[in-house]
Structure 1
């Protein structure tokens, strides 16, 4: 089994497992992929982003005023303006952000990406164990980090990785 991990691509994983014939030549291989969009969808990140945008509509003017009054640089006037806008919008912003829905959202997302990856690796491990039972060979795992995808475009070719 060969597996490519790309931490820069938000935990995208490519895996390939092979079947060899009696002569030691690669007979066939199976590829599976967990894309970053699958991780985001399955962990609830996309829905959370939509909820955040929808919930922030209640305080959109306050957030726009805060964004416009950021104290860029060290100008005393900019800092005073930022403090004034912060004080003017404080009650409305915190009334919204102290609503329990925000805390519930954070709790739902806590560890969600790790759970998605854990489920994926358990499926891969189960496939490797089943292959080991069927073919009576020991499991071998080759792991590639960074830009080492197992595919046709870039990185290592799946057949090459598994033959190695």
Structure 2
């Protein structure tokens, strides 16, 4: 077994001859489910506050990092690097103010417009873990999209007989 940054090893079998012992999982939010032998409950949205426990307190189900979520969706680790703009121009700041204003109008939010200082701070570091989790939760796996689109292209290029 090797240890790599941001990668956790899976829970491994233990016991005599590496035979897995019965595993029960529970969560504060799984009150509507039954703890079954060797079957883990589905994670629910509120589990990030109190992660599920597997067999008493021996194992705690760890929350995936945004990088791990990206990997599961088929994206490379570097997909989100260098997003920040250290010294945005006045034109960029004005453009983003307009974008935020249009977004608020579109979703019906009646909020105070973002200040120039807020936009500059956001442009320096636009990435946040919470937004990353939201994006991956609503995303589609990139390899699946490529597979489906390549099938559409393939069949659209076949001659009709």
| TM-score of the aligned structures, taking structure 2 as reference length | 0.25
Larger strand share, 1 or 2 = 1
Q: Which is bigger in relative contact order (C-alpha 8 A, separation at least 6)?
A: 1
Larger helix share, 1 or 2 = 1
